[in-house]
Amino acid sequence: MQVSGEAKGVSLLQMHDFRCFWLSRVASVLAYQMLSVAVGWQIYDLTNSTFYLGIAGLLQFLPMVLLMLPAGHVIDRYNRTLIIRLCQLSEGLGVFLLAMGSLTGWLNKETILSLVFLIGAARTFEMPCMQVLLTGVVEREVLPQALALAASSSQTAVIAGPALGGLLYVYGPGAVFACVSGLYFLSIFFLGRIRKKQEAVKGEKPDLRSALVGLSFIRSRPVILGAISLDLFAVLLGGATALLPVFARKILLAGPAGLGLLRSAPAVGSVLMALFLAHRPLKNQVGRKMFLAVIVFGLATIAFALSTSFVLSIGALIVLGTADTISVVVRGALVQLNTPDEMRGRVSSVNALFVGTSNQLGEFESGMAATWLGLVPSVILGGVATILVALIWMRLFPSLKNIQRLESSVKGQP
């Protein structure tokens, strides 16, 4: 059925399967965002060290490096819904152990970091599988709008998750972890209500060559490579998420609830932009608008670093989130619209590896940079570096800069 005009976003949410997917995604992302706030604050409480905040980010990233490519092949060969449910079950059980450890008092930084690593391993399979699952839930012609609404579901959860996690932390980390565990099981429930059968594409047997197909595919398409790598370096250098507990405590003089609001602020801008793009997708000068958004992202990062006002810091983070969403939606549309179904798992895994690299390794980089350079100088330098990357990428990938419409960029690829 064709869905047209501004009604697309609303009509998609009226579809049973997409609505169940949307709710499952909200619950899963909400759980992870609450978990991130609780783990970050608890680690900082136990160690009073930015170094261990960085280590926590690194341990979430390492499973992606080790498992992401084979994960893509698994996604292409087996039932995708089942893979997601098994991953979320593992995450829910891991968080349940964090809750029990916090409530009974035996939890220490080593145990927290070990469980963070295991949860990261499960997410390595879950994230790209969720991306691929969406293509089986909606028709191709409404995929860009579905991607924007999917982004809005993530960002809606990112708004509520950190704030709720920070408020619940007042009652102790065990309360947050118990709620997170329940949300993972709720996500499993909604996923199970999707009626359309998700059949895996039976292809080659797993081996190194087939696992690397996703990398080769992206490398052969400069527009996709440029968009993904631009997002990677922008968030890697400009992101300061791992340092928010330190900004909240030492500069803005805010407690756990304030930290939750800071973590939610980028998502306020993100969800507004995602909903806007769901109803009014980018129609012209897509490339230039994406580069402009990355430059704004860098400027907002610098503004946040210089701010000593809680309100101004929230405002800078909202602008940052608004700019980031444009890159997220453009990258997602380019990847999914240009990839055949039989290799979507592998290509989406590489894309997820880039996303995970920018987010998780970025947290490690932020912690190390703050340790060596100081808190505020390290974030200012990151914002400046983000702007420089955008300017350099405009010269390295002129075809990306000159994209007018997403559909025309697809046709121009080899």
Q: Where are the domains of the chain?
A: 8-196+207-411
Mean pLDDT of 117-133: 87
Examine the pLDDT at 1 and tell me if it is beyond 50: no
- Nearest-angstrom CA–CA distance, 251 and 265: 17
**Helix H or strand E segment including 201:** none
Using pLDDT thresholds of 50, 70 and 90, give the confidence band for residue 222.
confident
Q: What is the pLDDT of residues 383-411, one digit of tens each?
A: 999 999 999 999 999 888 887 776 655 55
**CATH class of the region 8-196+207-411:** mainly alpha
Alpha helix segments (H runs only) across 286-374: 286-306, 310-337, 344-356, 362-373
Position 412 scores a pLDDT of 46
Residues in contact with 406: Cβ distance below 8 Å, sequence separation at least 6, in sequence order: 144, 281, 282, 286, 330, 333, 334, 337
Examine the pLDDT at 134 and tell me if it is beyond 70: yes
CA torsion 222→224→230→233, rounded to 10°? -100
Give the three-state DSSP class for 208.
Answer: helix
Q: What is the pLDDT of residues 84-110, one digit of tens each?
A: 999 999 999 999 999 988 888 788 888
Q: What is the pLDDT of residues 269-318, one digit of tens each?
A: 888 888 888 777 777 888 888 899 999 999 999 999 998 899 999 999 99
Examine the pLDDT at 366 and tell me if it is beyond 70: yes
The string of DSSP letters for 42-98 reads HHHHHH--HHHHHHHHHHHHHHHHHHHHHHHHHHHHS-HHHHHHHHHHHHHHHHHHH
Name the DSSP class of 204.
S
Give the number of other Cβ atoms within 10 Å of residue 341's Cβ. Answer: 13
Name the nearest CA neighbour of 98 among 36, 168, 172, 177.
Answer: 177
Report the chain's mean pLDDT, rounded to a whole number. 82
Of residues 350 and 292, more confidence is placed in 292
Q: What is the pLDDT of residues 7-38, one digit of tens each?
A: 455 577 778 888 889 899 989 999 998 998 88
Examine the pLDDT at 342 and tell me if it is beyond 50: yes
